[in-house]
Amino acid sequence: MTKFALKGLLGRKLRTALTAIAIVLGVTMVSGTYVLTDSIDKAFDSIFTDVRQGSNVIVSGKSAFDLSDGSGATAPAFDEDVLEEVREVEGVALAEGSVDSESAQLIGDDGKAITYGGAPNLGFSIANGESPFNPLTLVDGEWPGPNEVVIDSATADKEDFAVGQQVGVQAAGAVEELRIAGIVEFGSVATIGGATLAGFDLGTAQRLFDKEGELDEIAVSARAGVTDDELIAQLEEVLPETTQVLSSSQQAEEDAEGTNEFITFLQGFLLAFAGIALFVGSFVIANSLSITIAQRTREFATVRTLGGSRRQVLGSIVLEALVIGAVASVVGLFLGLGLAKLLFWLFDLAGFTLPNSGLILETRTIVVALLVGIVVTLLASLRPAIRATRVPPIAAVREGATLPESRFHRFRTLGSLVTIALGFAALLYGLFAGGLGTTQLLAWMGIGALLIFIGVALFAQRLIRPLAQFLGWPATQIGGAAGKLARDNARRNPQRTASTASALMIGLALVTLVAVLAQGITSTFRNSVEEIFIADYAITAQNNFAPIPIAAAEAAADAPGVEAVASVRTAEARIFDSNEFVTAVDEGAVGAISLDWIEGSQETFAELGANGAFVDEDYAEEHDLAVGSPVPILTPSGEELELEVRGIFDPPTGGSPFGSVTFSTDTFDRLYESPRNLYSFVGMEGGVTDANTAALESALADFPNAKSQTREEFVDNQISGLSAILNILYVLLALSVVVSLFGIVNTLVLTVFERTRELGMLRAIGMTRRQTRRMIRHESVITALIGGVLGILLGIVLGGLLVARVEFIAFSLPTTQIVVFALLTIVVGILAAIFPARRAARLNPLEALQYE
Amino acid sequence: MEDGNTAAPTSGEAVVVASEVTRRYGEGDTAVDALRGVSLEIEQARLTAVMGPSGSGKSTLMHILAGLDKPTSGSVAIAGTEITALKDTDLTKLRRRHIGFVFQFFNLLPMLTAEENIVLPLSIAGEKPEGAFFDDLIDKVGLADRLSHRPSELSGGQQQRVAIARALVSRPTVLFADEPTGNLDSTTGHEILELMRNSVDSYGQTMVMVTHDPRAAAIADRVLFLADGLIVKDLPRSSEGDILAAVNSLMTAGATTGA
C-alpha cells in the first residue's frame, strides 16, 4: 500500500505540486518570520552588548518611577561631579562619563534634517577614542575634538559626507556647524536600522544636548580581582539617590527590554499572518484532495475489490498527505530565508528599517516550520481521506461512480449555521465582555473569526447557485456561449466552487477588515483635527513625531502676519499611581485650538497659570475630578507638583492632541529638563496664503528639523504613518490571497482534467481554442467573485464590529478600497485561469474523445 | 417515409474527398501505421458506413475526414476546402459550418437542458436556430416534451436523440457518427438507426457512420470495409446477412494472412 500511495503521487506530479504550493507558502511565512525576528534579535543583542564592551558596571540616572517601555522617555541626567567620586572608589580601574541623545540630527545639503524612516538619530559623547569603552571603530579620519563630529559610514555614504567638511548638527538647541573629524562603524552590525550616528567629545555633546555639567552614564571597569558585585557594592556607598548602578550585562538587558518587546510583538504579528496563510492553505489542500479523491473513486474501489481494507485506503491517502506536507514544508523552510530578506527590504521601504547582521536559522525554526506544515496538511487530508474509505468495492465496475456522501452530510447546513453563530458569539464576547487582557481578547476574536470563516465556507455551498447566477450575468453578456457555459460550470458542483471561493473569501475578508478600520481611523482623525485645529498652519518635525526646539515656535511667532502660536509639549508623569502622558500648552491656544468645554472655556488655556490643569471627560470621571480637584504629579526626575483642575473638555471621537492631564508650558518647563515641542499650531492674518506660507518657511529656515504645513498637509502627514503600516498589512495579507489564487488554479486544473471528454466534444462541435480559454477564464472569475463578494461583505461586518468596540473610531465605509478589492478579485480570477485555460485549449479534441 | 420517397438534393456529388491518406502514430521501431494510403469520396445525401475490426483504422479515418486529426501524408478536402494546411481556428470554424458529430457516449453537457444541448453548436457559433426547421427537427427526433429535461433525467435512447438533434441543428454538410448504437440496447439502437436513416432521406443529410454492427451498417447506402489501414471492400446498400458474410470473409482472410 505504501508503494501504491507513492506511485500515485508520482503519477500525478502536477496535481501534487499544485496542492503542495498552498503549504509551501504558509510554511515559508512561518519560517521567514522566525528567521527575520531571530536575525533582528541577534542584531539588537550585539548592538546592546557591543555598547557595553570593556565595562564591568554602568552608572546611570534613575527616574523617580519606572518609565513605560517605548515611550521615548529617558532617565534624567545627573551631576558630572559624580564621575570624580566614582573614580576615587577603590575597586575602580577606569571610569568615563558620557551623554547621549536620540535626536542629534545631521543636516543634509538641502538644509533639512537627515532621517531614515522612523529611525532615531543617535548622538553621544566619546570621551577618548582609544578608550576600552568605545564600541566604534574608526574607518577614516580621527576621533573628534572640540566642535568636531564623527559620523557612521552608512550615513556618510548615503549623504556623500567626507572627512574635513563642515556639517550642520542640531540636538536640543540651534544648528551648529561642526567639522567632520572621522567616519566610524559600529561594532559587528552592518546596519543599525536606519539610525544615524553622531559622536562628539564630551564638552561639545553636553552643549549640543543641553546637558552642560551633567552626565547620562558612567562606564566603569574593575581592577583585577574585583568582582562586579563587589564593585557595585563599593559604588553604591558613594552614589547619590539620583543614580543607579548595574552590571554591564544587566544594563544591556535593561536596554534591550523595549526592543525585545518590539521583537516579540513583531514575531506574534507576523506569525498571525503566517497562520492565516496556513489556514487558507488548509482549505486549498482539503479541496484539492477532495477533488482528486473523487476522481479516483474507481481506483479506490478497485483496491477494495482486490482485498484492500478501509484502513489501508485511509493509510495510503494519509501517507500521501504526509509526503506532500513534508516536502512542501522543507521547501517552505528554505524559501523562508528568502522571504526574511524580502521582509527586511519591505520594512525598509515602508520606513521601518530593521537592524540586520545576517540571517539566523535556529533549530526551533526548522522544527516548528516542518511540524506546522506537516500537521496542517495531515489535518486537511483527514476529511477527504475518510470519505474515500466509504467507497464501496462495487464502484469499481459501475460507470460514473461518485464518492458517497459523508454520514454527516444532512447536518451540514445546520452545522454551518451553528458554527457561524458560535463564531460570532466568541467574537462578540471577546470584543464586548470587558475585563479581558489583550491576549485573551485576541484569542477570543481569533477563535471567533476562525469559526465564522469555517461556518461561512460550509454554508457557502447553499449560496453558490444564486451567487453564480447573479455574478455570472456579466460573463453571459460578454462571453457569449463560453460565458454561459462558464456560469453553468461554476454552479455545477456547488461544494467544490464553495470551497475554492472560501479560500479567497478569507483573504478578502481580512483585507476589507483592515480597510474598514483604516478608513474609520483616518476619517475620524480627520474630523477631529478639523474640529480642534482652528489655526491655519502646523509646525512639526520633518519626520512628524520627533520633538522640535522651542526656539522654532518662537521664531515663527515673530514672522510677519502671525496672530497666534499654540505649542504643545508632551512627557511622561506618574499620576494617581499610574504612568500617564501629560501635555502642556501655551496661551496661544485660545485662538488656535478649539475644544468642546464641559467646564471652563477657551479662556481656560490662558488662565492655567503655575498650577492650573485641564483634563478630558473620561479621565475626570475615572478619577472623580471636578473643577478645583487636586491632581498631584511626579516627574521622572523626581519633581512633584499639585495641579488643580480648571477645565474639563469633551474630546472628539478621534481624540485630541492632549494627554490625560494638560497644564501650561511655563509649568512644564519648570518640571522637565530640556523641554521641546511636539508641534505648534499657527494662526495667521488672512489664513493660508502663499505669502504666509513663505513667511513661515523663512522664519523656520534656521530649524532644519521643523517644517510648516497647512491643516490638510498636517492631517495627511499624521496619517502617512498609518498608511505605511497599512501597506505592510496589505502585503502580508496578499500572501493568503496568493495561496487562494493557487487554490483556484488547482481546482481549475483538476476540473479541466475531469472534463477532458466534454471539452473534446465542445472543440469537435466548433468551439475555438479562444472560446475554450474564455470559458475557463469566466468560470475562474465567477468563482473568484463569489469568494470576493462573500469576503468583502464579511470583512465589512467584522470591521464594523471592531469599530463599534473601539471608542475613538467611527464607522465609515471605504468605498474606493472596496471597488479596488472587487477589481482585484477579478484580476485574481483572470490570473488563476491562465494556466488551466491554456491546458484546456491545448487539449487535442481527439484525445478528448478517446479518453475514458 | 422509406428511402426514395423524399425529394433529396442532388446526390452523388462528393462533399468529402480524401486521397492517398496515410496516418502514422509514433516514430521509429514503435511506429504504427493506422492508415496506409486511403482514397475515397463521400457522396452528398448518402449514408456511408465504415466497418472493420478494431485496429483496422476506421476511427482514425473518421477523425481525419472530420478534420479532428491530420493525415501524415495525403490530402483531405471538406466541402471543397483543403484542410490539411488549415490552422486550428480555421479548422474549428470549418467544423462549425460543415461537420456534425454523434458520439458513442452521447457526450451531453450534464448542466444543460435537452434544448440547450441541442442548440449548443449554434450558441458557440453565435447563431440562433431557424424556427421552422428547429420545430420540425424536434418533432422528428421526438423530444418535444423533453426539451426542458436535463440529461440525467433522460434515458440512453433519449440522450442519443438529443445528440443527433445537436448534430443536425446546424445543418452540417456532413454528419459523422461514431458507433452511435454502441452504448444502447438493441431495441433502442434500432430506433436510433431509423432516426438516422430518416434524416438522410428527409433532409438529404450526408452521413458517415463508423460501426462494427452489421445491423447498423445495413441502413447505409454504401458500406466500406477497412482492414490494416486500407479499404478492402466497398459494397453498395446491402442486407445484414450480406454484410455479416463480408465481415466473416475478411476476418478469415485476415486470419490466414495475418497469422
**To probe the interface with A, which of B60, B83, B107, B166 has the most A CB atoms within 10 Å?**
B107
Angstrom distance (rounded) from CA B259 to CA B252: 10
| CA nearest to A81, candidates A215, A232, A211, A202 | A215
CB atoms within 10 A of CB A723: 13
Structure-block grid coordinates of residue A286: 482539503
Angstrom distance (rounded) from CA A670 to CA A640: 11
Candidate from B105, B109, B125 with C-beta closest to A766: B125
Answer for the pair A70, A76: CB distance below 8 angstroms, yes or no: no
Q: Rounded to a whole number, what is the distance in Å from the CA of B162 to chain A's nearest CA?
A: 14
Q: Which residue has the cell 472534463?
A: A755
| CA nearest to A547, candidates A562, A525, A573, A567 | A567
End-to-end Cα spacing for chain A: 25
Answer for the pair B162, B143: CB distance below 8 angstroms, yes or no: yes
Candidate from B69, B101, B126 with C-beta closest to A765: B101
Task: Mark yes or no for CB contact B96/A765 under 8 Å.
Answer: yes
* B63–chain A Cβ distance below 8 A for any pair: yes
| CA nearest to A833, candidates A792, A764, A784 | A784
Nearest-5° Cα angle at A588, A585 to A589: 60
Candidate from A481, A489, A766 with C-beta closest to B95: A766
Answer for the pair B53, B227: CB distance below 8 angstroms, yes or no: yes
Angstrom distance (rounded) from CA A583 to CA A619: 14
- Residues in chain A with CB shorter than 8 Å from the CB of B166 are 765
Half-sphere exposure at residue A545, Cβ-oriented, CA atoms within 13 angstroms: 13
Answer for the pair B126, A480: CB distance below 8 angstroms, yes or no: yes
What single string gives the DSSP state of each residue in A227-246? -HHHHHHHHHHH--TTEEEE
Looking at chain B, list the stretches that DSSP marks H as alpha helix, in order from N- to C-terminal side.
58-65, 88-98, 114-125, 131-141, 156-168, 186-203, 214-217, 240-258
Angstrom distance (rounded) from CA A780 to CA A834: 9
CB atoms within 10 A of CB A212: 12
Cα dihedral across residues A641, A642, A646, A649: positive or negative: positive
Parts of chain B with a pLDDT under 50: 1-9, 255-259
Structure-block grid coordinates of residue A701: 529656515
Q: Tally C-beta pairs within 8 A across A and B.
A: 70
Please tell me which residue of chain A has the smallest CA distance to B178.
A849
- Residues in chain A with CB shorter than 8 Å from the CB of B99 are 764
Q: Each residue of A801-820: pLDDT tens digit? A: 988 888 778 888 899 999 99
**What pLDDT does residue B257 have?**
45
Task: Mark yes or no for CB contact A482/B124 under 8 Å.
Answer: yes
Answer for the pair A737, A511: CB distance below 8 angstroms, yes or no: yes
Q: Rounded to a whole number, what is the distance in Å from the CA of A488 to chain B's nearest CA?
A: 6
Half-sphere exposure at residue A185, Cβ-oriented, CA atoms within 13 angstroms: 11
Prediction ipTM score: 0.86
**What pLDDT does residue A399 have?**
59
- Residues in chain B with CB shorter than 8 Å from the CB of A485 are 109
Q: Rounded to a whole number, what is the distance in Å from the CA of A469 to chain B's nearest CA?
A: 13
**A673 CB-contact burial (10 Å; exposed 0-12 / middle 13-18 / buried 19+):** middle
Structure-block grid coordinates of residue A113: 534634517
**What pLDDT does residue B11 have?**
55
Please tell me which residue of chain A has the smallest CA distance to B125.
A766
Q: Rounded to a whole number, what is the distance in Å from the CA of A850 to chain B's nearest CA?
A: 10
| CA nearest to A426, candidates A456, A448, A454 | A448
**To probe the interface with A, which of B120, B152, B168 has the most A CB atoms within 10 Å?**
B120
Task: Mark yes or no for CB contact A484/B123 under 8 Å.
Answer: yes
| CA nearest to B201, candidates B221, B183, B218 | B221
- Residues in chain B with CB shorter than 8 Å from the CB of A482 are 124
**What pLDDT does residue A31 have?**
93
CB atoms within 10 A of CB A670: 13
Looking at A755-768, list the stretches that DSSP marks H as alpha helix, in order from N- to C-terminal side.
756-764
- Residues in chain A with CB shorter than 8 Å from the CB of B90 are none
CB atoms within 10 A of CB A575: 21
Task: Mark yes or no for CB contact A766/B101 under 8 Å.
Answer: no
Q: Rounded to a whole number, what is the distance in Å from the CA of B137 to chain A's nearest CA?
A: 18
Kindly state the greatest CA–CA separation across chain B: 57
- Residues in chain B with CB shorter than 8 Å from the CB of A751 are none
Angstrom distance (rounded) from CA B168 to CA B138: 10
- Angstrom distances, CA of residue B66 to CA of A636, B55, B124, B126: 92, 19, 18, 21
Query: What are the backbone dihedrals phi and psi of residue A168, each rounded to the nearest 5 degrees, phi first?
Result: -80, 135
Angstrom distance (rounded) from CA B140 to CA B135: 9
Residues 6+ apart with CB under 8 A from A198: A104, A106, A121, A122, A123, A124, A149, A150, A151, A169
Q: Rounded to a whole number, what is the distance in Å from the CA of A731 to chain B's nearest CA?
A: 39
| CA nearest to A595, candidates A580, A612, A616, A581 | A616
Cα-to-chain-centroid distance, residue A194? 17
Nearest-5° Cα angle at A674, A548 to A700: 25
End-to-end Cα spacing for chain B: 47
Using only C-alpha atoms, what is the Rg of chain A?
A: 33
Parts of chain A with a pLDDT under 70: 1-2, 4-5, 11, 68-73, 117-118, 129, 187-193, 350-352, 397-408, 543-545, 848, 850-852
